[in-house]
Amino acid sequence: GITRHYTFNVQMTNVTRLCVTRSIPTVNGQFPGPKLVAREGDRLVIKVHNHMNYNVSFHWHGIQQLRNGWADGPSYITQCPIQGGGSYTYDFTITGQRGTLWWHAHFSWLRVHLYGPLVILPKRGEGYPFPRPYKELPPIMFGEWFNADTEAVINQALQTGGGPNVSDAYTFNGLPGPTYNCSSKEPMNELITDLIDALVADTYKLKVQPGRTYLLRLINSALNDELFFGIANHTLTVVEADANYVKPFTAKTLVISPGQTINVLLTTPPNPASQAYAMAIAPYTNTIGTFDNTTAAAVLEYAPTRATSNNRLPLPALPRYNDTNAVANFTSKFRSLATARYPARVPLAVDRHVLFTVGLGTDPCPSNQTCQGPNGTKFAASMNNNSFVRPRVALLEAHYQRRYAGVLMANFPTTPPHPFNYTGTPPNNTFVTHGTRIVPLKFNTSVELVLQGTSIQGAESHPLHMHGYNFFVVGQGFGNYDPVNDPAKYNLVDPVERNTVSVPTAGWVAVRFLADNPGVWLMHCHFDVHLSWGLSMAWLINDGPLPNQKMLPPPSDLPKC
Ligand code: C2O
């Protein structure tokens, strides 16, 4: 591999969306941020200069960072944040990975503005395990735009104890589509319906030719929403998830959770009936009303274009916002390639079985306050009733120096303190404990982790993301996880390998991984509001006995707290 150098100047930049101009953090003045491109085996050296008067750190979402947690980026987990005026260089090598990943800020809610694609091409001379596409289209990142200041939104949610204010629009590569008429200051129709509307500013356009097959990379970087995605009159062939090839399957609608990436092949008809088609995203959630329920649109445009006007723009039909069956059906289709070249290295024997309940809980309301959470309480979020408390120093440094006292507790519960049961009394996950708790693991422990969602009704699924690892999704289902009968149905042959999995609403998911990457690795819900409420924990994987099984030493410019 070669070494590729990038510079990130993090600065405030004026950006106008939905007729509102805001000064937002950007990388090099770009929103969304720059696309990083590398090949498998390359080394990336990214110099970050923070010109804001605000902390920041960056995470390379899905990069495994073997023995090198120092480059992983979550603030107070693997590093102290880069303070205003400060700099830090992320230096890592991409080993054994290729596909679509992304990068984002990992401090507070800054990732709402600070994100970009990270495309890892196969090694030179190595192709894809599917027919070579005519071209690669620019990656599409789905996001959210808030007219309000997002720090104010999160502070409101933390202080009042209720749900946060929702975003004002979803976006395609930062563009909301023609959802708002700036001169009349009126929202326009939910979706564009004719080409004239479609060609106004603020609409993302993807240009294609008839009769070709393209590779399209899709990334959900929204803060708090799982999304449906579709293109009118086009069928997509899914070929990759979270930078892992999958057995190809076709779909009209995709479901993509925050943190996840999906690559599709888009084959265009030789004689398209329309000059352009709408692409759309809309949320999947059971709790409409507390979510942004708008639909955002972009345009797939055929070139060369015919000069026409008033063409109706065909719209994709997306499932209803609460169509859990559509979601379950889609997620059940993912399978690893599991070939000799791309084997599925799923651990067959398990050393540690652990089960986490995952869901929202509550804290009592302080007596001098009025809280807006359920029954006058404050929302908290937890796994096994523990709501994660952000430490004041970086856990990875504390671990490297073996200074644990007062920083972390190695007693994160690995079975639920209040067994959860859908058929019995309601889940006892209200009232949580708080602590910076981790699960320590010996090097090379093979782990089976069952994540049991505790939402009974009117709640959402939780996209759980693990840093430093991929895991294999060996099983999932609705209702209570059954430790006697469910394991018999596991797929240990070709389970999909991912870094983010959605714990289904009113259901469970089982994953397996081999703890062979020493360090401290965060695992959390990729809804930022749930992360802020504490839906997070960390795994501490100890060094192995051999020199190449130990953490690398920290770089000299590692920021101080
Ligand atoms: Cu993409 Cu810890 O996150």
Residue ranges of E strands in 58-203? 58-61, 87-93, 99-105, 115-121, 135-136, 140-145, 169-172, 180-181, 186-187
DSSP state of 18: T
| Mean pLDDT of the region 325-351 | 97
Name the helix (H) or strand (E) containing 522. strand 519-525
Residue whose CA is closest, atom 3 of ligand 1? 61
CA of 548 from ligand 1 middle (Å) equals: 26
Instruction: Tell which atom from ligand 1 comes closest to the C-alpha of 102.
Output: 1
Q: Look at 119-128, 450-459, 532-541 and tell me which has the smallest mean pLDDT.
A: 450-459
Higher local confidence (pLDDT), 59 or 422: 59
154 alpha carbon to ligand 1 midpoint, in Å?
17
Dump pLDDT digits (tens) for 157-212. Answer: 888 877 777 888 899 999 987 655 666 555 555 455 555 555 566 789 899 999 99
Lowest mean pLDDT among 229-238, 434-443, 448-457: 448-457
281 φ, ψ (degrees, to nearest 5): -125, 145
Q: What is the pLDDT of residue 351?
A: 98
CB 454 within 8 A of CB 429: yes
Which ligand 1 atom lies nearest to the CA of residue 61?
1
- pLDDT surpassing 70 at residue 103: yes
Q: Return the ligand 1 atom nearest residue 531 CA.
A: 2
**Looking at residue 357, what is its pLDDT?**
93
Using a pLDDT cut of 70, give the percent of the chain over it. Answer: 91
47 pLDDT band (50/70/90 cuts)?
Answer: very high
pLDDT at 151: 83
C-alpha 80 – ligand 1 centre gap (Å) = 16
For residue 317, the CA-to-ligand 1 centroid distance in Å is: 30
117 CA to centre of ligand 1 in angstroms: 14
Measured from the CA of 258, which atom of ligand 1 is nearest?
A: 1
Q: How far apart are CA 67 and CA 76, in angstroms?
A: 18
Where do the domains of the chain lie, and which CATH numbers do they carry?
Answer: 3-128 (2.60.40.420), 136-331 (2.60.40.420), 352-549 (2.60.40.420)
Average pLDDT value for residue range 357-383: 87
- Buried/exposed 283-317: b ≥16 CB within 10 Å, e otherwise: bbbbbeebbbbbbbbbbbbbeeeeeeeeeebbbbe
Q: How far is the CA of 423 from the centre of ligand 1 (A)?
A: 34
232 alpha carbon – ligand 1 mean position (Å): 31
Q: Note the pLDDT of residue 429.
A: 55
Mean pLDDT confidence for 298-318: 74
What pLDDT, on a 0 to 100 scale, did the predictor assign at position 118? 98
Nearest to 103 by CA among 191, 113, 323, 481: 113
SS3 of 372-410? CCHHHCEEEEEECCEEECCCCCCHHHHHHCCCCCCCCEC
Ligand 1 centroid–CA 444 distance in Å is 23
Among the atoms of ligand 1, which is closest to the Cα of residue 500?
1
Least confident of 54-63, 338-347, 429-438, 546-555: 429-438
Cα–Cα distance between 123 and 145 in angstroms, integer? 36
Comparing 53-62, 389-398, 413-422, which segment has the lowest mean pLDDT?
413-422
pLDDT band at residue 18 under the 50/70/90 scheme: confident
> Which of 151-165, 216-230, 484-498 has the weakest average pLDDT?
151-165
CA–CA gap between residue 407 and residue 395 (Å, rounded): 7
Residue 559 Cα, ligand 1 centroid: separation in angstroms? 19
The pLDDT assigned to 425 comes to 59
The residue ranking higher by pLDDT, 306 or 101, is: 101
> Is 464:260 a contact under the CB 8 Å cutoff?
no
Instruction: Tell me how far the alpha carbon of residue 172 is from its chain's centroid.
Output: 15
Is 162 or 231 the better-scoring residue by pLDDT? 231
Give the residue-averaged pLDDT of 77-102: 98
Using CB distances shorter than 6 Å, the residues near ligand 1 are: 59, 61, 74, 104, 106, 259, 465, 467, 522, 524, 526
Share of the chain above pLDDT 90, in %: 73
Task: Give residue 463 CA to ligand 1 midpoint distance, Å.
Answer: 10
What is residue 182's predicted lDDT score, i.e. its pLDDT? 66
Alpha helices by DSSP H, listed for 126-254, are 150-160, 195-198
Would you state the pLDDT for residue 165?
Answer: 77
- Identify the pLDDT of residue 97: 97
State the pLDDT at residue 183. 63
CA distances from 178 to 15, 18, 136 (A): 16, 9, 26
Rounded Cα gap, residues 160 and 363, in angstroms: 12
User: Which numbered atom of ligand 1 lies nearest the CA of 467?
Assistant: 2
Confidence of residue 289 (pLDDT cuts 50, 70, 90): low
Measured CA to CA, the distance from residue 36 to residue 38 in angstroms comes to 7
Distance of CA 180 to the CA centre of its chain: 27
The model's confidence at residue 307, banded by pLDDT at 50, 70 and 90, is very low
Per the prediction, the chain carries an average pLDDT of: 91
Burial class of residue 391, CB neighbours in 10 A (0-12, 13-18, 19+): middle
Interacting residues of 297 by C-beta distance below 8 A, sequence separation 6+:
177, 178, 179, 191, 192, 198, 203, 278, 279, 280, 315
Q: Are strands 169-172 and 140-145 parallel, antiparallel or unpaired?
A: antiparallel
Show the 3-state SS of 218-242.
EEECCCCCEEEEEECCCCEEEEEEC
ipTM of the complex: 0.99
Predicted confidence at residue 41, as pLDDT, reads 98
- CB of 9 within 8 A of CB of 51? yes
Confidence category of residue 293, pLDDT binned at 50, 70, 90: low
Average pLDDT, integer, range 113-132: 97
- 510 versus 166: the higher-pLDDT residue is 510
190 CA → ligand 1 middle, Å? 30
